[in-house]
Amino acid sequence: MEVFARTPIDLESMHIPHGQVYIILHRCKGCKMCIEFCPQEVLQVSTDLNEKGYHYPQIAPGKEKACVHCEFCTMICPEFAIFTLEVEA
């Protein structure tokens, strides 16, 4: 658990959400906005190409359980190619 300069008194009882990232490969146009806006750095650029010839995002190694379901990627994607769903930790 991270230690902050100002820690809430009830930090132990707070629910920290966990998410699962889903990428719709054929919709992605490789803008990388989801990668740039992810606060947990869950995503990275794939070396593979989708059917349109774009490098799509993928889950970075070791970050499979790092998503906090903030949905920034979902909100920022202009092609609706990525979304997250909350999962139990």
pTM above 0.75, yes or no: yes
Residue 4 pLDDT > 90, yes or no? no
pLDDT class for 38, splitting at 50, 70, 90?
very high
Going by C-alpha positions, the residue among 16, 26, 28, 31 that lies closest to residue 65 is 16
Specify which residues 45 forms β-bridges with. Answer: 57
Fold of 16-87: Alpha-Beta Plaits (3.30.70)
Average pLDDT over residues 72-86: 97
Q: What is the pLDDT of residue 49?
A: 97
Q: Higher-confidence residue: 55 or 88? A: 55
Q: How far apart are CA 34 and CA 45, in angstroms?
A: 10
CA atoms of 70 and 87, how far apart (whole Å):
12
| Burial class, 73, CB count within 10 angstroms (exposed 0-12 / middle 13-18 / buried 19+) | buried
